[in-house]
Chain A
Amino acid sequence: MKILVCISKTPDTTAKIAFTDNNKKFATDGVQWIINPYDEWYALVRAIELKEKDPATVLHLVNVGGAENDAIIRKALALGGDEAIRVNIESQDSFTIASQIAQVAKEGGYDLVFTGKETIDYNGSSIGGMVAELLDLPYVSLATKLELEGSNVKLTREIEGGEETVETSLPLVVSAQKGMAEQRIPNMKGIMGARTKPLKVVEPVAVEALTSIAGFELPPAKAGVKLVPADNPEELVRLLHEEAKVI
């Protein structure tokens, strides 16, 4: 069994969102970087659990980006995984990233490719589906549970207002979200061990981007809160009905 987990680097959830270069670039000054929480808490931890159950499992991580991503990759290796692969290209649109991951997945012959349900910066929810299509594999997205039974896979995925259980077989691409696993904190042994785990750098395949970002903008500032006295909540209901017209 060979598992590949896609690891993305994102700004910390409390990072100040601002732009430079005429609103064309995200301002990275002073930004703390983290592993995209969906990749870390759900995809990676579930993959580690599968390896703990079956120690013969090979678990690799993949990231697309420059050498500045290595610190995040080591952080992920501190949680688990045998080795990591970084495709050495400044990430562009989701299609170019997915194409690089698909290439790594193809060459490595993985049975299971895991992504988080989306990144918290571009919120595309696109990489898993694109990788699946490029490899012509089944794709279960927004999965909250995954159990392996030989090459048969039982999963639960989100639907509007509930969930459904599905069955499919390996090889498979899955996007993971809350429910799939519980967040883990790396221990000292993991952190020390991560330093010596292989981090292979591979060169990208040539792909043309399909989209580009023309610019960013911040949402308009709120006008400020209208406070209603606590002893007159009826006034709030009146305002919502007559002024905001939402109820």
Chain B
Amino acid sequence: MSVLVYIDHTDGEIKKSSLEAASYGAKLASQLGVAAHGLVLGTVSTDLSALGKQGIQKVHQVKNDSLNQFDPGQQATMIAEAVGSLGATVVVLSNNVTGKALAPRLSARLKAGLVAGAVALPDTSNGFVVKKAVFSGKAFAQVEVTSPVKIISLTPNAFSVSNGDGSAEVAEINLTVPAAKIKVTGINKIKGQIPLSEAELVVSGGRGLKGPENWGMIEELADLLGAATACSRPVADSHWRPHHEHVGQTGGAVAPNLYFAVGISGAIQHLAGVNRSKVIVVINKDPEAPFFKAADYGIVGDAFEVMPKIIDSVKKLKGK
């Protein structure tokens, strides 16, 4: 019996969201008194034994470059085979873009119940019950998994990466590689930017900023903090900012340690995408803006006056 963690990677590096999944999987394995294994499909340039730091005991790898191009059908088939041969009873993935495609396929293939977007370790005192966010972050559900094999996809940034000093055994595993049915023909990544879904800090702007020409202060603060940038829906709809920055009910959902909102009213649909942030800061000139009700810290003031001072003060803090 074991917990098997699917380790997702990009550009030769393990994704941070997968390190979270590995840490979660290892904690769950010790809770259940079973071994924690990792599965890597494709090739990476990092040393996989380092996954021992997250508590993984053994990493199984299929070293095949073609698997770096993602076909969820192909990979789900391979993971299912690994689950069988390794005797895994729980599979843990990140609920990142890859996990969202893989976990449901794997669930249907193995007839294994899926908790998509878990935010905490399972309660195994009576059955197998996992907490997940529902209603776009406005509530949580306790989901009971009743099938023998269970699949958990972990919400990014909901579980911290453990950093012990273990070292994992790394071995190649022999799995059938089915033909890929999806061919990747091009990749368009915004270089040097932190992906919003993985960001620990997010600086976000709304229609209160008046126009795209005023985003310099958002970008400058984000740069100084090492934060990703986001925006409200009308900002993306007006093409002031790219679509992938749109957060909220109909855009991306984020759960960073800090969500710093400037000139955003805090409509319920916007909050739906950001209300799981650990700390929310709101800068808005309207004291009645609904966002203040969801905020931890705030300044009632004009962003154009306040932001330059905040930027100066962060510069001092960072010694720049």
Contacts and interface: CB of A to CB of B under 8 A. Distances in A.
Interface of A: 11, 13-14, 17, 19, 37-38, 41, 93-95, 98, 117-118, 120-134, 136-142, 144, 154, 157-169, 178-179, 209-219, 222-223, 225-230, 233-234, 236-241, 244, 246-247
Contacts of B193: 161
A125 B107 CA distance: 12
B301 interface: yes
B146 A123 contact: no
B105 A139 contact: yes
Nearest to A126: B104
Contact of A14 (B190, B194, B268, B292): B268
Contact of A164 (B188, B253, B292, B305): B188
| Size band of the interface chain B makes with A | 35 or more
A59 B72 CA distance: 26
Closest 10 CB pairs of A and B: A129-B104, A230-B301, A210-B113, A161-B195, A162-B189, A133-B108, A126-B104, A160-B195, A141-B101, A138-B181
A190 to B, nearest CB: 22
* B contact patch SS: mixed
Nearest to B315: A237
A123 B296 contact: no
A19 to B, nearest CB: 8
B127 to A, nearest CB: 8
A25 to B, nearest CB: 11
Given A166-B182, A215-B142, A227-B300, A160 B96 contact: yes
B198 to A, nearest CB: 6
Contacts of A117: 100
12 contacts: A13-B268, A94-B104, A94-B116, A123-B253, A126-B116, A127-B104, A129-B104, A129-B105, A210-B113, A211-B146, A214-B129, A216-B141
Contacts of A212: 143-144, 146
Contacts of B188: 162-165
Given A225-B296, A230-B299, A247-B314, A124 B116 contact: yes
Q: Which of B104, B186, B258, B297 has the most CB of A within 10 A?
A: B104
A41 B250 contact: yes
Given A123-B136, A159-B189, A139 B279 contact: no
Nearest to B99: A125
